[in-house]
Structure 1
Amino acid sequence: MLQAQLEDGRLILLAAHQREQIHNFRKRRFLCPACRKSVIIRAGKKVIPHFAHEQIHDCELDGTGESLYHMRGKLQLFYWLKKQGYAVKLEECVKESARRPDLLLHAPSGRELAIEYQCASISDEELLRRNEAYERNGIIPIWILGGNRLKRTSTYMLDLPKREQRFLMQHKQSMPLQLLYYCSNTETLCNVQHILLTGKKQTIGQFFFRPLQRLRFPQLFHTLPKKLLEINQAWHSIQARAIAKPLTFASAPIKRWVTRLYDNGLLLQDIPLYILQPVESQYQMSVPPYIWQTDLWLEQLDHIPVMESVSLNRLVYVCRKWEVNTNPFAISSNKHPVESYMQRLCQHGWFDQIDSETFVKKKGLSLF
């Protein structure tokens, strides 16, 4: 832990003091803010000055397993926010909860934000418990992942397994999906926006790298310029490769889907790319887009005569079997992927949207 209490109740942030002061602090008794047990000072040339329990026992702050990378980043973010005039506390306990976020920011608007700098993996259960605790107290959780977790594979692609997709954020419906990464070694923040999930870990996104000291906190939640052509090209490239990929190591759901295509007299290569459209809300689906979108065409869209209508509820029902049970916590939009998909088809002139629930087919696009 970065700070501890003196017996008189004062909180001491050890890293904010000079070496001589730290030496003098060794003569004092410090207590853990969470469990009130004695803690000792750990300081040296190769470590950030911090506190540790004298004995290993069950304490929230003792079980965090903080690395030097994490502690350094947490301090850098703390001083960055302080420099901008924000009222921010390190490891402060949330009222009516045992939760202690890395940083608790008291915004001028009166809202509180819990900023978690997450450099290590965390279970689904623990992530849910933290987010629910913050929500009960009216606190907005902001997750900033360690730069050590960013797996960029090309200019517009990164590997984002399901476990990492839980940290997707969209605090305003007008914003695109985003992920925040911070590297404490280089003091650089990466804002990944305009994210398109492919259903596998390979994901499309636009990367914006900025030195932390050149950023203001509100800028983290501004929509950044989108390179639409490049993003779409990357997405179509992934879809084309996915369809042409051998099935030797494919999962059982994909093999069942391919078998269904064969039963309908189709080969993978017969799937036209123009019926596959990227949607940001793909995180709600358990299978890649090319599975549920071609399934939707086989079940419904391909059979609708031109100029006839179809209801959104009917289309959503067809895709219910592909939905996941839980979605990322920090996303404000509840738009179903099928709705987003149909609106994409409308943009390309294949359907017209009459009202919020009705679409009319404008032209035929048979799969056969």
Structure 2
Amino acid sequence: MPKFSGFHRLVKRRVICILVATTTQQQLFFLTGKYTRQELLEIRLREHFFCPTCQAPLLLKIGEINIPHFAHKTLSTCQHFSEPESSLHLQGKLLLYQFFNQLNFKAELEKYLSEIRQRADLLVDKKYVIEFQCSTIPVSQLIQRSQGYQQLSMYPIWLKGLKEPCREGVGLLHLKSHEVAMMQKVGQLSYILLFYPPANQFYYYSNLFYVSASRWVGKTKSLSATKQVFPFALPKPLSKDEFNLVLGIFYHAKKQYIRSQLYAGNRVRNLYCRLCYELRLDVTNVPNLFGIPLLGAECFKQPAILWQLQVVEAYEKGVGIDRLIQTGKLTLSDSEKQQQAIDLTANYIALYLKYKDKTVDNSNILDIVYDNYCKNVGKLRK
């Protein structure tokens, strides 16, 4: 199997680069590493290639840096390849194709689905669609593509392409909106699957806790393709020590938020200050039960400390959470997440009521919040 190197951008203009072509005999020809560069050079002399979608002539490019690939001879208007593809993208698709074949799954590369006029990066066993996304994509387009596959009773799995290896461990993650849209769930645990072609390595962002806008706390863990399985391995819940790191990041975010509110100007009109006043709390030292990490909190736009104060105030006044949402006082990130918000706030209120009259300090807050986390993910405490 020839080794291909180089992950430079292949094109600066809209030239579509692909790994599948149709021959003069109307047969599909795949660039999956089966042929050496010398063999491809010989094939190129005697064969003509065409785009399997738009039928336009293709060039078989066999350079010394980028992996062999097909490209449209002229500036392409081909509708079924969404974007010009980088060498990283092509190499990633090729490695994923080889990964599935080594596990004896039937993988089809760059499979065009005429019913929905979409082309999947990989179709596995005619059931799973693997989309390997290396560039930014509008969330609406990502959702639309996923819904198209679901119409055909296919299960879409999005993998984020990586140009560099990730730093492993628990920490703050800055996620773009389309990366959040790639999120998958197993029970209460959210995760994003990533792939790093230069090392043939998968990564997981797992146990994702929403902080604000593009900031999340999660665990990053690598898994070599040689140890990966399919369906893909699922991430494990956090240990107590790992969860303590999550709690520490949330504590720091809470302090930052409080500091920003104290310098925000008019405290009478400041929502945070008003909530503290209503609940008779010290604005500079809010109790430990406020601002804690809870899975599923991405249903709210507000940071943890703010929505948790709002929920407790509403409870004390006998106002239902659904009413709080309807009036817009609690802002949902998506209108379809109302039930998730109701379940989340019910879990939080139960936790708050259990401990509000007890001493909750730095010595026991970890046990309290970690016990709640374990209960939600079905993990047995050790």
- Category of TM-score, reference length = shorter chain: 0.7 to 0.9
With a CA cutoff of 8 Å and minimum separation of 6, indicate the structure with the bigger relative contact order: 1
SS of the residue corresponding to residue 289 of structure 2 reads helix
Choose the corresponding residue for 1:212, options 212, 225, 230.
225
Change (3 A) 1:38 1:291: same
Do the aligned partners of residues 259 and 280 (structure 1) sit closer, same or farther apart at CA in structure 2, a change above 3 Å counting? same
Q: Counterpart of 2:197?
A: 184
| 2:310–2:330 contact (8 Å) kept in structure 1 | no
Instruction: Classify the secondary structure of the residue corresponding to 1:182.
Output: strand
1:200-349 matches, within 5 Å, as: 200-220=213-233, 222-235=234-247, 236-247=250-261, 256-258=270-272, 260-261=274-275, 264=278, 268-298=283-313, 300-303=314-317, 313-314=322-323, 317=326, 321-325=330-334, 335-346=339-350, 348=351
1:117-161 CA distance string (max 9 Å, x none): 111100122212211211111111101101238875973332223
Alignment of 1:64-79 (within 5 A): 64-79=83-98
Q: Equivalent residue of 2:157, what SS?
A: strand
Confirm whether residue 350 of structure 1 aligns to residue 368 of structure 2: no
Q: Does structure 2 conserve the Cα–Cα contact (< 8 Å) formed by 1:43 and 1:50?
A: yes
User: Residues of 1 paired with 2:170 and 2:57: CA distance?
Assistant: 50
Cα displacement (A) at 1:257 = 2.9
Hey, what's the Cα distance between the residues in 2 that align with 1:151 and 1:125?
27
Q: Gaps spanning 5+ residues in structure 2: where?
A: 1-17, 359-382
Who is 1:17 aligned against? 35
CA distance in 2, matches of 1:249, 1:146: 40
Percent of counterpart pairs with the same letter?
20
1:165 partnered with 2:180: yes
Distance in structure 2 (CA, Å) of the matches to 1:86 and 1:249? 59
Task: Tell me the distance in 2 between the aligned counterparts of 1:149 and 1:287.
Answer: 32
Q: Is the contact made by 2:246 and 2:293 (CA closer than 8 Å) also made in structure 1?
A: no
Specify whether residues 202 and 363 from structure 1 end up closer, same or farther in structure 2 by C-alpha distance, changes over 3 A only. Answer: closer
Query: Aligned residue pairs: how many?
Result: 332
The alpha carbon displacement at 1:56 in A equals: 0.9
The amino acid that maps onto 1:336 is: Q
Q: Alignment partner of 2:212: what SS?
A: coil
Q: Does 1:148 align with 2:158?
A: no
Structure 1 residue identity aligned to 2:29: I
In structure 2, the residue matched to 1:49 is 68
Would you say the 8 A contact 1:286–1:324 is kept in 2? yes
Where does residue 358 of structure 1 map in the other structure? none
